[in-house]
Amino acid sequence: MDHVQLGRAGVRVSRLCLGTMNFGPETTEPDSFAIMDRAIDAGINFFDTANVYGQKFADWGILPKLGLTEQIVGRWLAQGGGRREKVVLATKVFGGMYEGPNGSRLSAHHIRRACEDSLRRLQTDHIDLYQMHHVDRTTSWDEIWEAMERLVRDGKVIYVGSSNFAGWHITQASELAKQRHFLGLVSEQSLYHLAARTLELEVLPACRHYGLGLLPWSPLGGGMLGGILKKTDGGRRAGPVVQARIEKNRSKLEAYEKLCAEIEQEPGEVALAWLLHQPGVTSPIVGPRTMEQFEGNLRACAVKLEEGVLKKLDEIFPGPGGTAPEAYAW
């Protein structure tokens, strides 16, 4: 497993990041422990979670279930054996965690309370990468940075990152951090995969300019790029929602899975390998439900895509045409 710097930060992280969103809702605690142990054995030192993880999307809004995934990760860390020292631990703040008007977003009030509770659930004294899960358009950057700076001074947070930010938000945050003589953002976690390349317009250029590592989430497009046609018998064994997605993208998926068969690689491994070939990408976040899925994720690191294959993938899943404004103007 190769390791690279997280953007302009000095800390080095593995080329794959272990996402833990399925731990609890889809994956039992013993199986989650086994996957985390396997990740360490494979050289993955970068784990990502969030305070709101722990329930299925359909159940969001039921506050008592929130925090379950952090608790599972915390109990794994508490086993000792150097686990905490081996992991660059990332979690997030923004989502609703408490009843009442201040139970979410990025006020200094909420950031402080949410951080303390994440530390308790994770059974650690510091968070290596504390990420804003979404932009808060109602709270000033001065207030947000004041809260984050305090956490850094107190030793509770080392680095700060963002997630789901637009290029403009990255610029706003980074420029004000510079004015405050604060390190500011070191990473952006964003939706990015072969079939979703909008961030190439402005988010990716902003990350490169300000030295942020890019951490793509949903690298397999929610399973669409994992060989879904073969797995669902052309979509006939898929549910109505998945069938609709397949029909919308059928021609592309057929061409994609045919190309993967020609180069004798599994579709999911090709999708991950494509991301690892993109300049500016630090660590795609994989979120396995099972050990079998995780082993497939690991194999992607050994997949080398030739220029001809990369060109064909661009033809099947064309991006926006480059960076803005050249992608849509002159």
Q: Identify the pLDDT of residue 234.
A: 81
Q: Examine residue 248 and state whether it is found in any structural domain, yes or no.
A: no
In a domain, 57, yes or no: yes
Give the DSSP H/E element, type plus range, for residue 131: strand 127-132
What percent of the chain is modeled with pLDDT above 70?
A: 97
162: β partners: 132, 188
Q: What integer pLDDT is reported at residue 68 of this predicted model?
A: 95
- CATH number, domain of 222, equals 3.20.20.100
Compute the average pLDDT of residues 16-39. Answer: 97
**For the chain, what is the mean pLDDT?**
95
256, part of any domain: no
When pLDDT is cut at 50, 70 and 90, the band that residue 62 belongs to is low
Asked whether residue 231 is assigned to any structural domain, the reply reads no
When pLDDT is averaged across residues 9-38 and rounded to a whole number, the result is: 97
53 given a catalytic annotation: yes
> What pLDDT score was predicted for residue 65?
66
Residue 101 placed within a domain: yes
State the residue range of the domain holding 45: 3-226+266-309
Query: pLDDT value at position 49?
Result: 98
What pLDDT was estimated at residue 63? 56
Tens-place pLDDT, residues 269-311: 999 999 999 999 999 999 999 999 999 999 999 999 999 999 9
Domain assignment present for 136: yes
pLDDT surpasses 60 at 74: yes
CA distance 193 to 196: 5
The band of 66, judged by pLDDT with boundaries at 50, 70 and 90, is confident
Give me the pLDDT at residue 242, please.
Answer: 87
**CA distances to 203, 240, 260, 266, 317 from 243, in Å:** 31, 5, 21, 21, 19
pLDDT band of residue 107 (cuts 50, 70, 90) is very high
Confidence band, pLDDT 50/70/90 cuts, at residue 237: confident
Selection from 316, 306, 225 nearest residue 263 by Cα = 306
| 284, 272 Cβ separation under 8 angstroms | yes
pLDDT band at residue 82 using 50, 70 and 90 as cut-offs: very high
Q: Residue 57: its pLDDT value, please?
A: 56
Give the total number of structural domains in the chain: 1
Entry pTM: 0.96
- The answer to whether position 239 is within a domain reads no
The rounded distance, in Å, linking the Cα atoms of 65 and 235 is: 33
- For residue 197, pLDDT over 70 is answered with yes
94 domain-assigned = yes
pLDDT for position 236? 82
Strand 88-93 to 127-132 pairing: parallel
The more confidently predicted of residues 234 and 116 is 116
Q: What is the mean pLDDT of residues 173-183?
A: 98
Give me the pLDDT at residue 61, please.
Answer: 57
Mean pLDDT, range 218-245, rounded to an integer: 90
Q: Which residues touch 16 (CB under 8 Å, ≥6 apart)?
A: 1, 44, 46, 272, 283, 284, 286, 297, 298, 300, 301
Residue 227: what pLDDT? Answer: 94
Minimal CA–CA distance to 266: which of 278, 276, 256, 275? 256
